[in-house]
């Protein structure tokens, strides 16, 4: 079976985390992704988080489906080798601070002179232009500046950041989408283009109509904890066994079912109950009704009762629950992947399914520079030339 991106060559120069994840998404659907790392400074994700027997586990996920090579781009010979590697490539993914590639003679103009069909994907904290362009930028800063942190957390608490790379992950999805659009445009024009992605922007696009609300009404989204200002009851509730469930009532019919289930049908007849905003204004009363009912029952009993009433509920899972859940098993959400260092490793599978050309995780992240000789040997470098470049620190 031919994968959708068979024949697409992607060169991944990026680190931490949006760029490498975007390249991984392309590799999941058949692109030949070549991960380029500095000979003496591997991708920092290899050392982030827990490790097993000295092998970084985050890298195993982020580096999946990639061949790995080493190359010192700041060395003129390294820059020349990259130009050779890109001569027949389709996509470059990079996240250096703006101006860095240009300083090495590897800016878009120089690269398009070598390969006019190349899609140059540039991911940075603040974009390629503007007063902040040359600042170092990470997902945490994007979560802060986008409006996400200001709207997240308890009403009387501080702005809250996520404990994982949310902005980077959203940017990775946006970058993969942008690459596909640029490749589609290339089909029509025959030429590649530059994709400029600032990490501060994609997460802002996910935050809904906050800018429009403020523009039209002067309204600022407040911190509401787990509540919503659009509907209620909407919260997490603690069960008798100490576990938690989440309840959502975005639809009026669901809200009515929940209140009947928890034994408070009289609230449905209140005039304010007829709209989501009306219910949100009475969230204290509605939360008290739901939490009192939930608190008397174990989680499995709560979920079963909600399902029977056709009301919307979900258990609050940690990873142990995910791995034991039959719905995730049916979807194939978690994949066991072969790995040369760890034997097998489980990780999240491709995040969606195509009926005829599904994606696949073929292998986990490979060792630092594992494919250097094979990749550059295919460009015509002899074993002696490779050895000499390695001795000089170019490879």
For residue 9, what pLDDT band results from cuts at 50, 70 and 90?
Answer: very high
Element (H, E) at 238: strand 235-238
pLDDT value at residue 169: 96
Spatial contact of 33 and 12, defined as CB atoms under 8 Å apart: yes
| pLDDT 10s digits, 56-79 | 999 999 999 999 999 999 999 999
For residue 54, what pLDDT band results from cuts at 50, 70 and 90?
Answer: very high
Residue with tokens 């991944």: 12
Whether 373 shows a pLDDT value over 80: the answer reads yes
pLDDT value at residue 137: 87
Mean predicted confidence (pLDDT) in 215-233: 94
Cα separation, 187 vs 182, whole angstroms? 9
Whether 209 shows a pLDDT value over 90: the answer reads yes
Distances in whole angstroms, Cα of residue 298 to Cα of each of 238, 242, 246, 313, 322: 9, 8, 14, 14, 19
Whether 1 shows a pLDDT value over 90: the answer reads no
pLDDT value at residue 2: 86
Alpha helices in 218-282 (DSSP H): 252-261, 276-281
Cα separation, 161 vs 141, whole angstroms? 10
pLDDT value at residue 375: 97
The values of phi and psi at residue 197, to 5°, are -120, 120
**How many C-beta neighbours within 10 Å does residue 62 have?**
27
Average pLDDT, the chain: 96
Please give the model's pTM, rounded to 2 decimal places: 0.94
pLDDT value at residue 16: 86
Q: 294-313: string of b/e by CB count within 10 Å (b at 16+)?
A: beebebeebbebbeeeebbb
Distances in whole angstroms, Cα of residue 292 to Cα of each of 236, 282, 284: 12, 16, 12
pLDDT value at residue 136: 87
Spatial contact of 317 and 325, defined as CB atoms under 8 Å apart: yes
Catalytic residue numbers, as ranges? 168
Whether 268 shows a pLDDT value over 90: the answer reads yes
Cα separation, 31 vs 240, whole angstroms? 49
Cα separation, 347 vs 335, whole angstroms? 6
What percent of the chain is predicted at pLDDT more than 90?
98
| pLDDT 10s digits, 126-173 | 999 999 999 988 999 999 999 999 999 999 999 999 999 999 999 999
């Amino acid at each position: 079976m031919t994968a959708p991106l068979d024949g697409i060559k992607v060169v991944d120069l990026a680190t931490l985390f949006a760029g490498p994840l975007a390249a991984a998404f392309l590799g999941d659907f058949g692109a030949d992704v070549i991960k380029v790392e500095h000979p003496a400074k591997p991708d920092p994700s290899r050392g982030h988080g827990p490790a097993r027997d000295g092998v970084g586990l985050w890298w195993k996920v982020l580096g999946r489906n990639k061949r790995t090579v080493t190359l010192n781009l700041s060395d003129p010979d390294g820059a020349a080798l990259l130009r050779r590697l890109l001569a027949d490539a389709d996509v470059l993914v990079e996240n250096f601070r703006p101006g860095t590639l240009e300083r090495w003679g590897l800016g878009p103009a120089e690269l398009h002179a070598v390969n006019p069909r190349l899609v140059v994907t540039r991911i940075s904290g603040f974009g390629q232009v503007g007063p902040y362009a040359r600042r170092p930028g990470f997902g945490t800063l994007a979560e802060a500046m986008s409006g996400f942190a200001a709207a997240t957390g308890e009403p009387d608490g501080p702005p809250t950041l996520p404990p994982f790379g949310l902005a980077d992950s959203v940017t990775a999805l946006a970058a993969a989408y942008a690459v596909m659009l640029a490749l589609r445009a290339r089909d029509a024009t025959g030429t590649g283009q530059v994709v400029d992605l600032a990490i501060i922007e994609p997460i802002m696009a996910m935050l809904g109509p906050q800018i429009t609300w403020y523009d039209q009404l002067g309204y600022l989204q407040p911190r509401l904890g787990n509540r919503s200002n659009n509907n209620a009851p909407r919260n997490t509730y603690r069960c008798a066994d100490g576990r938690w469930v989440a309840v959502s009532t975005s639809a009026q019919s669901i809200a009515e079912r929940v209140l009947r289930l928890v034994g408070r049908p009289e609230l449905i007849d209140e005039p304010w109950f007829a709209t989501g905003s009306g219910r949100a204004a009475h969230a204290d009363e509605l939360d008290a009704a739901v939490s009192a009912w939930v608190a008397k029952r174990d989680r499995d009993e709560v979920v079963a009762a909600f399902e029977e009433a056709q009301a919307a509920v979900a258990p609050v899972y940690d990873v142990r629950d995910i791995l034991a859940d039959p719905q995730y098993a049916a979807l194939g959400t978690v994949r066991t992947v072969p790995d040369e260092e760890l034997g097998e490793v489980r990780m999240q599978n491709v995040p969606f399914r195509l009926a005829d050309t599904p994606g696949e995780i073929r292998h986990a992240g490979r060792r630092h520079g594992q494919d250097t000789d094979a990749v550059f040997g295919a460009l015509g470098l002899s074993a002696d030339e490779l050895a000499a470049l390695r001795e000089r620190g170019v490879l």
